[in-house]
A and B are shown apart, each in its own frame.
Chain A
């Protein structure tokens, strides 16, 4: 074999390629890294611009205050509830919709697909939906958080594509001969074979619920029902700390402690997703890939 010489153009390409990729690595990682080191640094050191690469004046004051705060804990608990119950409803409805849609001789399939796709491009908008929720007496209830987004059409398409490709028509026909019904078939054969896609759905829906604040913003007034993201909003964006978090410090320190708390809550709230992320990454990617297959 002739070893080809790298041409000048290709060399330039290589240099550009690696520079761009390494720069994107840094651009993504540095802000995240900075949040981490800032959360355990002395706020005075951050303000005077001395914190760049490593924490200075290490302390856990911010985290201590965060863990003492009632609203944050309440928000955490609410978010857990919404995420777990919400995701369960999501999976139940998504799979029970995706299975019939994946069967070739389900006669309504085509029409139901159109019925679903329409909702991806048209909707009644904020107010008519709000009025419906109000009419159902769901305003200011925890149920609204798990019912309003009970199914996502994109995820149904992912699940349907998966089932179409993994559960052959013949398998069902064979099961029917043994006296199997659709529901039995779904529970006993389809679901056990669908672990991979259910993992994908749990992740997509789970992350959605964990990060969701819009539904709460519109339908919840009662602070006791607030999910973590709304508590975060008041701390991070509206600069409203609970008095209990900063009441013991004087005005000058007040601002410093507030900054420290902000860095801390970013970490505390994102941690569950970020810790799980490396383990779950392959499922996420798989999900997007299945979703990109047209069908």
Chain B
């Protein structure tokens, strides 16, 4: 038997296929170049986290100095506070924010009146399209101690005005709850799509068995959307250290800093405002590594316990 022949034939086929489809390669080229420049070149640039970066020497020629920048970060008096704030906000967000779109979708799925269902959906999606700047602007206005509607309302019960945004202890709740307000409706779409894919025969059978609505949700709906829940949970875990730099930065002020300074805002200030490029890159690399570890672990656990996984 001659094994070389099919191999050769395959090669010839490959060449022929490339020739035939050369236009496909031309089509992807611009986007590939974009990714190389704006995504992969920065990944290559990550090495400056281990270097003493000089602009003239560029990424490649600057001298290596090992883990110095990382040590500096770990020894920084702010390190534990940053880590605590980042993880604290993120976990709070996950615990409070993750189940709400699921509950919303389960309830909406039980609504028989089409128009009411549509109304709730249309309205709850709206905040998703409001920009972060406007959202934070609204929070500033509503929570203002002098003219904010929340304090005016509390005033009806003889509660003295509270400067919510100036108090570190309220920061986490403001951050997370405003996020729920903005994204719960939007987040429910994906679960509603999953719910619409459940086999209607299951509901018929449950009805015949005299199941209550609560039992139907527990035994049919929830298991039906479990794979979707798991995938989204894994993706969320992979982002646990990235909690929305934009909003945190906009909500920050000198008074709430003890609880609002997170790794990403610190990284921005050090890097862009103080131009300490290598140090800031080291911090961001640390952030990414933790994210990746969490993502991989979550994916493994999910594969083991529920069969759903990202890869």
Question: A-side interface residues toward B, CB under 8 Å?
Answer: 4, 7, 9-10, 13-14, 17, 20-21, 24-25, 27-29, 31-32, 34-35, 43, 46-47, 49, 92-94, 96-97, 99-101, 103, 105-108, 112, 115-116, 119, 121-132, 136, 147-148, 150-151, 156, 181-183, 186, 207, 210-211, 213-214, 218, 229, 232-233, 236-237, 259, 262-263, 265-266, 269-270, 273-274, 277-278, 281, 284-285, 288-289, 292, 294
Knowing A232-B133, A232-B137 are in contact, say whether A13-B213 is a contact too (CB < 8 A): yes
Kindly report which residue of chain A lies nearest to residue B53, judged by CB atoms.
A131
Question: Quick check: B140 and A237 within 8 Å, CB to CB?
Answer: yes
> Does chain A have a CB within 8 A of B130?
yes
The CB with the most chain A CB atoms within 10 A, among B28, B30, B59, is that of B28
Question: Quick check: B281 and A125 within 8 Å, CB to CB?
Answer: yes
A4–B111 CA distance with the chains assembled, in angstroms: 18
Q: Other than A126-B284, A127-B45, A292-B228, give 5 A-B pairs with Cβ distance below 8 A.
A: A47-B146, A125-B287, A183-B27, A232-B137, A236-B136
List residues of chain B with CB within 8 A of the CB of A20.
103, 107
Kindly report which residue of chain B lies nearest to residue A232, judged by CB atoms.
B133
A-B contact pairs, 25 of them (CB 8 A): A21-B107, A28-B124, A49-B149, A96-B28, A97-B27, A100-B25, A106-B24, A115-B35, A116-B35, A125-B267, A125-B281, A128-B43, A128-B59, A128-B281, A131-B59, A132-B37, A210-B131, A213-B132, A232-B131, A232-B133, A236-B137, A262-B140, A262-B141, A281-B122, A284-B125
List residues of chain A with CB within 8 A of the CB of B129.
207, 211, 270, 273-274, 277
> Does chain A have a CB within 8 A of B259?
no
Question: Quick check: B214 and A266 within 8 Å, CB to CB?
Answer: no
Kindly report which residue of chain B lies nearest to residue A262, judged by CB atoms.
B141
Question: Quick check: B126 and A17 within 8 Å, CB to CB?
Answer: no
List residues of chain B with CB within 8 A of the CB of A288.
186, 189-190, 193
Knowing A108-B28, A119-B35 are in contact, say whether A213-B147 is a contact too (CB < 8 A): no
**A229 CB, min distance to chain B CBs, angstroms:** 5
Of all A-B residue pairs in the complex, the 9 with the closest CB atoms, nearest first, are: A124-B42, A128-B45, A236-B137, A125-B284, A211-B131, A49-B152, A128-B42, A182-B23, A100-B24
Knowing A7-B212, A25-B119, A150-B38 are in contact, say whether A31-B142 is a contact too (CB < 8 A): yes
List residues of chain A with CB within 8 A of the CB of B231.
294
Stretch at the interface among B1-9, B13-21, B75-83, B84-92: B13-21
A106–B181 CA distance with the chains assembled, in angstroms: 43
A150–B36 CA distance with the chains assembled, in angstroms: 12
List residues of chain B with CB within 8 A of the CB of A277.
126, 129
- Residue from the list B43, B126, B153, B285 in contact with A28, Cβ < 8 A: B126
Question: Quick check: A274 and B136 within 8 Å, CB to CB?
Answer: no
List residues of chain B with CB within 8 A of the CB of A263.
141
List residues of chain B with CB within 8 A of the CB of A29.
123
**B288 CB, min distance to chain A CBs, angstroms:** 6
List residues of chain A with CB within 8 A of the CB of B25.
100, 108
**A15 CB, min distance to chain B CBs, angstroms:** 12
List residues of chain A with CB within 8 A of the CB of B107.
17, 20-21
A233–B246 CA distance with the chains assembled, in angstroms: 12
**B61 CB, min distance to chain A CBs, angstroms:** 14
Knowing A105-B21, A148-B38, A292-B193 are in contact, say whether A128-B133 is a contact too (CB < 8 A): no
Question: Quick check: B147 and A186 within 8 Å, CB to CB?
Answer: no
- Residue from the list B24, B146, B292 in contact with A122, Cβ < 8 A: B292
List residues of chain A with CB within 8 A of the CB of B14.
107
Question: Quick check: A17 and B194 within 8 Å, CB to CB?
Answer: no
A148–B35 CA distance with the chains assembled, in angstroms: 10
> Does chain A have a CB within 8 A of B155?
yes
Question: Quick check: A9 and B141 within 8 Å, CB to CB?
Answer: no
List residues of chain A with CB within 8 A of the CB of B122.
278, 281
A259–B142 CA distance with the chains assembled, in angstroms: 11
Knowing A124-B41, A151-B31, A270-B134 are in contact, say whether A17-B110 is a contact too (CB < 8 A): yes
List residues of chain B with CB within 8 A of the CB of A147.
34, 38
A127–B288 CA distance with the chains assembled, in angstroms: 13
